[in-house]
Amino acid sequence: MDLISRENPARVAEIVGSVPVTDPAAVDAAVRRADDAFRGWSGLPVAERVAALRRGADTVAARLEELAPLLARESGKPLADSRGEIGFAVAFLRWVCDEAPAVLAATEIDDDAGRLVVRRKPYGVVGCVTPWNAPVILAMLKLGPALAAGNTVVLKPSPLAPLTITEVAAALPAVQVIHGGAETGRALAGHPLVRKVAFTGGDAAGREIAATAGAMITPAVLELGGNDPAVFLPDFALSDADYERLVMASFATAGQVCMAAKRLYVPRARTAEFTEAYLAAAERVLVVGDPLDPEVTMGPVISAAAAARIGALVAGATGGTATPLGRSAPGHDPASGYFVTPYLVTGLDDHAPLVAQEQFGPAVPLLAYDTEEEVLVRADAGELGLAASVWSADEERAFALAGRLGAGFVFVNTHNRTGMSLRAPFGGVKRSGYGREYGKEGLLEYVQSAVVHAPAAFRPGGPGMAPGAYPGGVHDEPPRAAGAVRPPP
């Protein structure tokens, strides 16, 4: 049996664990088992499904201190962040359990126009393909709503972080986990019994998943990348704590977050002031080292390839000045793993790759601007539109600009996870994907409307309608004598 062995990106000689590769025949078997289980799971009242999910949430919560070090070791995410991610996934699942009964309830109208019932019905088997950078919460955003709605799920996590999410998924009902790379993902997304696909990841993989699902006319939810701008209006007023939060908005998880602050746009007249305060904040809060060290706030990147790619972006930032940020933890050995020095880069133009591309790593460009209209155009440049932020002492002014930005989610006076809300739907526009997670919209992604309708005209005692009539009396066909023949058109 082929195995995926996962190394610790902070100590690359250490193998954290392994999982078996699921070949296409085994993918087929897993999907068929999920399809067999669908009728029983979907047939349960929503209250029973929710109760089972609550028990799963309790099981994961009870194991948090056991699972957090495993997540830190396989992903390079600092221990405190690993605890936070698992705890947040539990909180999200419990929120789904609270909200699902009302959101998924059927609605009925019985009035002079007739009787109309709209039910929320699950799709069937949902195939989920999830990434490595936040493997627990990004899977739970799919598992919770899909399962509460009555779907069964086959989950394929990233081979770069398969261990913790496999343990978490085992606590939930109606879920099967498979493992592998692109071949396994294609077999899942293209399976004829998979009725919906949910994917979070990069642009290239997203295109392949969408094409594979589309060939089967299978609907999908895609949450892809973003090159997210943070726009500071001329009246911005940031405290030391605000600057610290801003630093972590770019460098949490070593910058490997789809909604991280990836471009900082600052009024030209205030760039010196901003830079000085930003560097000081980074010195206070950005500590690089082994994720299991409780003082560390930034660990390694996920792989040697990621480290090389980010290094090349920084090295290629010609014409700019790259200033290293933060400090190393005592005793830290950068050569032990895939560690990348975090940088603030100034002096680049908008065409530099570090600005124009999603860097997905610990290097962020600071860009000066002169007018609000100018920064709006520059912030919206490119094909991605996941998230953005606007910072201002005047909330109304911030909201006004935020409403003009081409992003699916705009934070005001914060950025990244500190600006999220369980009730707020999240997703991208342009090439950053489609569909939504979080909020009631995230629950409704996993159901279809199924309608039963008795128009008033055809209920007992109703007047009926002419055979060719349109509803609502629009251009009703005039009555015809029995046996009359309509002339050809």
223 noted as active-site residue: yes
97 is catalytic: no
Among residues 244, 258, 358, 445, which one is catalytic?
A: 258
Alpha carbons 410 and 398: distance in angstroms, whole number: 10
Catalytic residue among 7, 74, 223, 244: 223
What are the helix and strand counts (H, E) for the chain?
15, 22
**C-alpha 113: how far from chain center:** 41
Q: Would you call 281 helix, strand, or coil by DSSP?
A: helix
Q: Write the CB contacts of 69 (distance below 8 Å, at least 6 apart in sequence).
A: 79, 82, 292
Q: List the structure tokens of 457.
A: 């005209």
What pLDDT, on a 0 to 100 scale, did the predictor assign at position 475?
Answer: 53
Q: Which residues does 114 contact at the CB level (< 8 Å), separation at least 6?
A: 453, 454, 455, 456, 457, 459
**String of DSSP letters for 86-100:** HHHHHHHHHHHHHHH
List the chain residues with pLDDT less than 70: 473-489
DSSP state at residue 158: -
Give the Cα separation of 227 and 386 in Å (integer).
Answer: 7
Exposed/middle/buried for residue 123 (C-beta within 10 Å: 0-12, 13-18, 19+): buried
| Rounded Cα distance, 107 and 381, in Å | 43
Q: Where are the beta strands (DSSP E) in 21-113?
A: 107-111
Rounded to whole angstroms, the Cα distance separating 144 from 172 reads 9
In this predicted structure, what is the pLDDT of residue 471?
86
Cα 348 from Cα 357, distance rounded (Å): 13
Q: What is the pLDDT of residues 311-356, one digit of tens each?
A: 999 999 999 999 999 999 999 999 999 999 999 999 999 999 999 9
What is the spatial distance between Cα 182 and Cα 433, in angstroms, rounded to a whole number? 19
